[in-house]
Amino acid sequence: MVGALPAPSYPRPYALGEALRKKKSNVEALLNRYVSELVDAQKKASLDAITDGRLLWDNVVEGSASLLTGWQKGDLTRFFDNNYFYRRPIKSQLKPLSLEPELKLMPWPNRLFTVLGPFSFSKLSSGEPAVDWDYARAISTVLSGYEGWLAIQEPSLLEGGFPDDLKAALQLFPSSAKKLLMVYFRPFSPVYDKLLDLPVDGLWLDCLADPSWKVTLKERGQKRITALGLIDARNTRLENPDDVLRAASSINATGEVYVAPNWGFDILPYPVSKQKTRVLGAVKRRSEVS
Amino acid sequence: MLFPTSVIGSYPKPKWLLRTLSNPKASSEEKARALDDAVRLVIKEQELAGVDIPSDGEMRRVEMTEYFTERIGGFTFKGPVRVWGNNYFNKAAVVGKVYYKSPMLVDEFLFAKQSTSKRIKVPITGPYTIADWSFNEYYRDKRELALDLASVIRQEVQSLARVGADFIQIDEPAMSTHPEEVHWAVETLNEVVKGITGVKFGVHICYGNYRALFPHILDAKVDQFALEFTNRKFRDLDLLKEYSYDKELGLGVIDVHNSRIETVDEVKYGIGEALKVLPPEKIYVNPDCGLKLLDKTVAFEKLRVMVRGAREMEAEISGNGKRRGPEDALGPARGGAWGEVSGFPWLDYSPLLFFHIVGGSGCQELSWHIRCFSHGKALRPS
């Protein structure tokens, strides 16, 4: 059977963005309204994990950094090849904050939380193709004891330069979490064997960016959990649930398989992100009855 | 003339214009008149700064792709998307074959043309960027969409050429973000300009890895590339040398990412670096990118410094100039006018002072409009 996971982040609705920009007093009310709307949409779709959408995070780079102190915002920088930008964190001495305020927004047990991995944090902040050990230590301290799904985003791993010490850095992340290493925007097949070797419970793969994804998964095996990024987070076109299920069922699964977005829904229009959530639910339902 | 100065296109919108456009009580006539006034104002500001080839500041455009996708057939909108922080734009979705409906920039160009005696640069967003910054729900792939869009943009360029536009800049900021697509992206550029004569074609590319553009970009049948250099400390000039670049260069000498005003010497340094790669007659001088995100007074001052740097370099190259010390770098722009225009709130709110400085015919009506808008009204003088 094929399960379904939500995007690790959802687009900030325009009204909330405007309220934040104008520092209006209704920010908290709007945030509660939209989080509740998103949670309902995921529950209705019977998704296997639920996220609050991380609506207050400007992006995963600054969002992850916001769990720490000892950094400041730098230049506006393009996020890979998207027309979407983040402020490059310039770190001094990173220190962990508490995760409690974040988890209060996600009190449910099957929550999905996300952070940037230590290699991508380094690449996207200082540009160094190396594990940022300060970040790895600090962010794993923040996450210590976290229970639930944890998507560790490492898109920079697909740009070349797979670091030998990533394995050791990922060992620091909490064993209490169901850890998925998430890669996207480029073909993962060239580094798939190395990904399989990492100390995480599963891989979250951007199948849309890799024409060889089916062959790779069939021939080289799978982790205990595989999240197939088959829902396009960079296009508004809605997928046909039957096509998605057919693709997901074709890999001779050896573990748990989930359909998922290939990335966060950050740059979709908010209404479309909810429609895509319904598509995820439709895939899961069809899988249950087939 | 050596080192003609220009802009990339956008200019900060006056606050009174934004207030008028967002005022639900303002009539469409009032909004149209405010836009006309704003165009006259920003062209005049560029003239005051000494810019040789101004633009209309893109006063009528909300965003560089949205303006076009609203007017090209085959697009629809499904809600705003975030670009960074709390900044959104209406990213369009292509839901059918794209087609040309009617001229998009002709009125804009004609109005700008009648507002100045100078040559006008018309920026137009290129097909590759429109394709890349849209959701594609219809075409098999981006290339197919971009080629169809090239045909649409080409029709617009033909319309502009027919009414006398002779300097058109195709804006392609997305082109440097997908290195693997540059070879066919250049095809779309060539499709836009194919067979059109009597027009100088420039291409503006910013925010990306310029190395990824080479060598394919050299196949573009355009006259000029306007590129950002200041933000990259002029390092990418080496690329031009490496590939024996021989087109005109729109040399970016003003950083649009921060509000620090460059010095005249910094501008001259940039031109000097370009002269190591290209002969002087190939060099145009402009900011790195559009100025719209800067404070309006900062934008004006940056342009003024840019022009002064270009003119001093021209004089030095021609043997008429004398070397200045750095202490002179921010002196008066034109015979003492600098003291009168520092501070600049007058550009938004004080039409009488504006009239005093500009002087001459043609500005009185403009000053009247500004005065009326500053009091929340839009009236024509009887």
Q: Give the tens place of pLDDT for each residue, B270-298.
A: 999 999 999 999 999 999 999 998 999 99
* Contact criterion met (CB below 8 Å) for A177 and A147: yes
Closest to A162 measured CA to CA, from A122, A126, A119, A201: A119
B35: enclosing H helix or E strand: helix B28-49
Distance from CA of A239 to the nearest CA of B (A): 10
Instruction: List residues of chain B with CB under 8 Å from any CB of chain A.
Output: 78-86, 88, 91, 93, 132-133, 135-137, 174, 177-178, 207-208, 257
φ/ψ of residue A261, rounded to 5: -70, 155
- Partners of residue B208 in chain A, C-beta under 8 Å: 78
What's the rounded Cα separation, in Å, for the pair B262 and B271? 13
Other beta carbons within 10 Å of B332: 13
> Strand pairing partners for B93?
B76, B135
Which structural domain, as residue segments, surrounds residue A30?
2-289
Tell me the percentage of chain A whose pLDDT exceeds 90: 94
Q: In this complex, which of A17, A58, A87 lies closest to B88 when CB atoms are compared?
A: A17
* Contact criterion met (CB below 8 Å) for B150 and B191: yes
Count of structural domains within chain A: 1
B317: enclosing H helix or E strand: helix B296-317
The DSSP letter of residue A81 is T
Q: Give the tens place of pLDDT for each residue, A167-218.
A: 999 999 999 999 999 999 999 999 999 999 999 999 999 999 999 999 999 9
| Residue from A9, A21, A84, A236 to probe the interface with B (highest B Cβ count within 10 Å) | A236
pLDDT at B326 over 60: no
B266: enclosing H helix or E strand: helix B264-275
Place of tokens 């598509």: A279
Q: In this complex, which of A81, A237, A266 lies closest to B82 when CB atoms are compared?
A: A266
Q: B208: pLDDT confidence band, cut at 50, 70 and 90?
A: confident
Other beta carbons within 10 Å of B287: 28
Q: With an 8 Å Cβ cutoff, are B93 and A76 in contact?
A: no
Question: ipTM of this model?
Answer: 0.94
Closest to B350 measured CA to CA, from B380, B374, B366, B381: B374
Q: Can you state the angle between helices A118-125 and A133-143, rounded to 10 degrees? A: 130
φ/ψ of residue A30, rounded to 5: -65, -40
Distance from CA of B313 to the nearest CA of A (A): 31
Q: Give the tens place of pLDDT for each residue, B24-75.
A: 999 999 999 999 999 999 999 999 999 999 999 999 999 999 999 999 999 9
Q: B379: pLDDT confidence band, cut at 50, 70 and 90?
A: very low
Distance from CA of B257 to the nearest CA of A (A): 9
Instruction: List residues of chain A with CB under 8 Å from any CB of chain B.
Output: 11-12, 14, 17-18, 20-21, 58-59, 75-76, 78, 81, 83-87, 235-237, 266-272
Closest to A118 measured CA to CA, from A148, A139, A98: A139
Q: Give the tens place of pLDDT for each residue, B150-163.
A: 999 999 999 999 99
Q: A76: pLDDT confidence band, cut at 50, 70 and 90?
A: confident
| Residue from B76, B78, B82 to probe the interface with A (highest A Cβ count within 10 Å) | B82
Residue B374 is predicted with a pLDDT of 31
Q: With an 8 Å Cβ cutoff, are B208 and A78 in contact?
A: yes
Q: Any idea what the CATH number is for the domain that residue A243 is in?
A: 3.20.20.210
Which residues have a Cβ under 8 Å from the Cβ of A93 and sit 6 or more positions away?
Answer: A70, A134
User: B178 or A114, which is more confident?
Assistant: A114
Q: Is the dihedral of CA A9, A15, A19, A22 positive or negative?
A: positive
φ/ψ of residue A93, rounded to 5: -135, 105
What's the rounded Cα separation, in Å, for the pair B155 and A2? 49
